[in-house]
Structure 1
Amino acid sequence: MTCKRLALLLCALLLPVAHAAQQPSPPVAAAATPVQRPLLWKVSDADNAVYLLGSFHLLKADDYPLPAEIDRAFDDSQQVLFEVDPAAMTAPETMTKMQHYMGYDNGKSLSQVLPKPTLEKLNTLLAAGGGSVQAVEQQEPWAVNLALVLSVSQALGFRPELGMDRQLMERTAKAGKPAAGLETIDAQLQAMDSIPYAEQSQGIDEFLADPQKAIHQLNDMHAWWRAGDVEKLDSGMRADMAGKTPESYRLLDVQRNLNWLPNIQSRLDGVKFGNTLIVVGALHLLGNDGLLELLRGKGYKVERVCDRCEL
């Protein structure tokens, strides 16, 4: 994965960034600049509806308050689904599971799976901050790369505790609404762990070649997300990932969407559920492999909910 495609996983994958900060903090509303165009769609059949909301897993304080469309969808929903059950996010065993999947179970090490030039550049970067490759020797390349991207994102003011998922999880709990997950923690981590080493290593190499590029790309993606610009998000995120790291795209996006689809359909076909708000990384909604097109292909009505969009 290139630095760009790993950064966009902040739009597609919840768990690895969910524990980057230990204590969630509420958004600061005083300096709020509302998101102008939410990535929100209503999918409906004859008697009930599912709202699909595209999240960015790290946000800034001035991304709040959320727009009124999201408030209305939340109020109109009897339950909320996230990628992972909120209760599992804070379970004591979750960090242990993360550490397990970030490491090796085949006797290898970072020095063995990274190309030598990449390893040397990584050591130079880490040494500049007082670290070394030895300190991350037992971590897979995706985990090291994610840590690099997280360090950049947090320097830019992005915080996992301000991510839309985290904030809506807290809001759901306060409202007393039922919450659940579309997949288990293990399933999400297994998807990352299954990415071929070649695609994992590519990301570190490209990040090290031009760290400033990662900064610009993350800022661009955040701007597109705030503007609700589906076309730029699709061409600059989903299509880029699908073309350059197809196995990562298959594992992290396509297969997980297909795994979630029966659960989402059951919320529509089972009238006992009422309406449901589903919050997932924005990447999961885009393109022909996205949840919107998959549900449209099943015959459901799909319409965007956006007060300021030209529909």
Structure 2
Amino acid sequence: MTFVSLLKSSAGRITRVAAGTALGFGLTLSLLTAPGQALAQTAAPQAVLPAQGNGPALWVIRDADSTIYLFGTVHVLRPDTAWQTDRVDAALDSASRLILEVANPDDQAAAMPLIQQYGISPQTPLSTLLTADELAALDTAARTMGMTAAQLDPLRPWLAALTLSVAPMTRAGYDPRSGVDLLLKARMEAAGKPVDGFETLDEQIRLLAGFPETGQLDFLRSTLDDFEDATTELGRLVSAWADGDVAAINAVGVEPMRDASALMYQSLLVDRNVNWAGQIQTLLDGSGTVFIAVGAAHLAGEDSVQVQLAQRGVTVERVPN
């Protein structure tokens, strides 16, 4: 089953969470900022409201001389989302290093050349790929961001879809600057601690840009079809994440992708989870305490990072509430 099938069969669920939530793409923090608005590169850590329930889930891996924490994130949140817990604070404070999906999710200067290379295709504009009705819908959606269909015309379909995905989220109060990754990054940098990444912006962008054009087009069409209620699944996901309900994260963000597209599931989740598990196993050969924060979908389901580690003989334990 193709990327096309994923977007149609799952009723747009992937579109609703593609902007940096269930799929866990840290790059969206730099890509999906409103026009003319730059993310602060040196923002001071923001205060986070205490969690009202259990708080997000946290896992730990230990050996004789290493401690590694695993924490699932949501890359775009409302500023008033309550998720702070003492156990996460203690784990982060004890760590000498933070590892995110990408070390520089807020680095627009690094992202722009990659977008030019992989996301812009003036020789095949969207106006040659979409119907008149679809172009009208594109223009309507673009105008909610202060843009027009003509301004989006040179974009490849995958980038146009992701760009449009942020608009309804912004209207609903979601903000990449309130995303967990940027807050953790700012906090560690303020403490003078290094921040690294499992992947690079180049790797993430090339992965998205590498999907067939027909699939990218249906990604865009699905985004337009679900534009007005695009935050429904995101709200469910955030609620599940903030309460540490990993089963619900799996049901909302992982199973629809697995059931609808083996290709998408394998490429965006499984392959990356396997890669990260290998990197974590290498970290265990060293010593010290590391805090790892990746998209919440990577830590849920039958192919999660924890499952990949278990298959390597590495024990992962959930930290009690």
- CA-to-partner distance for each residue in 1:159-188, whole Å, 9 max, x for gaps? 111111001111111111122111111101
Counterpart for residue 91 of structure 2: 73
**1:48 paired residue among 62, 66, 74:** 66
Counterpart for residue 126 of structure 2: 110
Mapped contact 1:29–1:61 kept (Cα < 8 A): no
- Aligned residue pairs: how many? 302
- Runs of at least 5 residues in structure 1 that lack an aligned partner in the other structure: none
How far apart in 1 are the matches of 2:173 and 2:194? 31
Per-residue deviation, 1:91: 6.8
Mapped contact 1:114–1:141 kept (Cα < 8 A): no
Are 1:214 and 2:230 counterparts? yes
Residue type at the aligned position of 2:167: S
How far apart in 1 are the matches of 2:72 and 2:181? 10
**1:122 paired residue among 127, 133, 138:** 138
How far apart in 2 are the matches of 1:180 and 1:245? 31
Residue type at the aligned position of 1:72: A
Are 1:275 and 2:289 counterparts? yes
Counterpart for residue 15 of structure 2: 6
Structure having the higher helix fraction is: 1
Q: Identity over aligned residues, as a percent?
A: 29
Residue type at the aligned position of 1:5: I
TM-score (norm 1): 0.86
**2:116 paired residue among 80, 93, 99:** 99
How far apart in 2 are the matches of 1:8 and 1:129? 18
Q: Which moved more, 1:12-21 or 1:121-130?
A: 121-130
Are 1:199 and 2:211 counterparts? no
Q: Matches of residues 23-42 of structure 1 in structure 2 within 5 Å? A: 23-24=39-40, 29=47, 32-34=49-51, 36=53, 37-42=55-60
| Segments ≥4 residues shifted beyond 6 Å | 127-130
Mapped contact 2:44–2:186 kept (Cα < 8 A): no
**1:157 paired residue among 148, 167, 173:** 173
Seen in structure 2, the aligned counterparts of structure 1 residues 297 and 115 have a Cα distance that, compared at 3 Å, is farther
- CA-to-partner distance for each residue in 1:42-75, whole Å, 9 max, x for gaps? 1233432211110000112222562111111112
Counterpart for residue 284 of structure 1: 298
How far apart in 2 are the matches of 1:151 and 1:94? 20
Root mean square deviation, CA, Å: 2.6
Per-residue deviation, 1:121: 3.1
Are 1:297 and 2:311 counterparts? yes
Q: Matches of residues 16-27 of structure 1 in structure 2 within 5 Å? A: 16-19=28-31, 20=33, 21-24=37-40
Per-residue deviation, 1:108: 2.6
Are 1:257 and 2:267 counterparts? no
- CA-to-partner distance for each residue in 1:143-164, whole Å, 9 max, x for gaps? 1221222111111111111111
Residue type at the aligned position of 1:227: D
How far apart in 1 are the matches of 2:210 and 2:101? 18
Mapped contact 1:16–1:98 kept (Cα < 8 A): no
Per-residue deviation, 1:265: 1.0
Residue type at the aligned position of 1:8: V
